[in-house]
Copies of this chain bind each other. A is one copy, B any other.
């Protein structure tokens, strides 16, 4: 459909609900209430419930790419700094906003075939950022292992934080990022 500011705001609110309840048990009535309108009005902005999910996932992935891109630009060529920046950016999109990126990761399977095909290149672009940074770290001897598997394991470790991270706890996303890459690097000295 279109791409109005109104639709963007509605998408943002849908993301919060999808994170809290999960896509399947979020009803259009719940979405409408969260948005302050009646359920019938929702379908003026989105063709169906599926389209809302696709909009959330697209926004979440685009945002993750933008945040990661910025984080990489503001740090030098040091592989460790870049790895840290990437992990911190990833965790912030997941844990600080608790936003659309969580939906993109956890509700991907709920997309229909058409939407999945349409959004796959975005997801791939984000993962390509990760694999490039991990390649640099491997080449520098900072970490070691198979390129594909290291990427998957690192992203998995980060993605699963959503399930146990306590925002009221003592550790920030930045500290978590440091601990994760510290775990992968050979001890100093």
| Interface residue? A159 (CB, 8 A) | yes
Question: A160 to B155, Cβ gap below 8 A?
Answer: yes
Assembled-state Cα–Cα distance A159/B182 (Å) = 21
Question: In the complex, which residues of chain B have a beta carbon less than 8 angstroms from the beta carbon of A154?
Answer: 157
Which A residues from 2 to 52 make CB contacts under 8 A with B? 22, 24-25
Which A residues from 55 to 92 make CB contacts under 8 A with B? none
**Chain A 97-122, CB within 8 Å of chain B: the 1/0 string?**
00000000000011000000000000
Question: In the complex, which residues of chain B have a beta carbon less than 8 angstroms from the beta carbon of A152?
Answer: 157, 160-161, 164
Assembled-state Cα–Cα distance A152/B156 (Å) = 11
Give the copy number: 2
Question: B161 to A157, Cβ gap below 8 A?
Answer: no
Question: A186 to B186, Cβ gap below 8 A?
Answer: yes
For A155, give the chain B residue with the smallest CB separation. B160
Interface size on A, residues (CB 8 A): 32
Contact of A144 among B153, B156, B187 (CB under 8 A): B187
CB distance from A167 to the nearest CB of B (A): 15
**Chain A 146-189, CB within 8 Å of chain B: the 1/0 string?**
10011011111111110110000001000010011011101100
For A149, give the chain B residue with the smallest CB separation. B179
Contact of A153 among B24, B150, B163, B180 (CB under 8 A): B180
CB distance from A128 to the nearest CB of B (A): 15
Question: In the complex, which residues of chain B have a beta carbon less than 8 angstroms from the beta carbon of A183?
Answer: 143-145, 149-150, 153, 184
CB distance from A110 to the nearest CB of B (A): 8
Assembled-state Cα–Cα distance A4/B33 (Å) = 45
Assembled-state Cα–Cα distance A164/B124 (Å) = 13
Interface residues of A (CB under 8 A from B): 22, 24-25, 109-110, 143-146, 149-150, 152-161, 163-164, 171, 176, 179-180, 182-184, 186-187
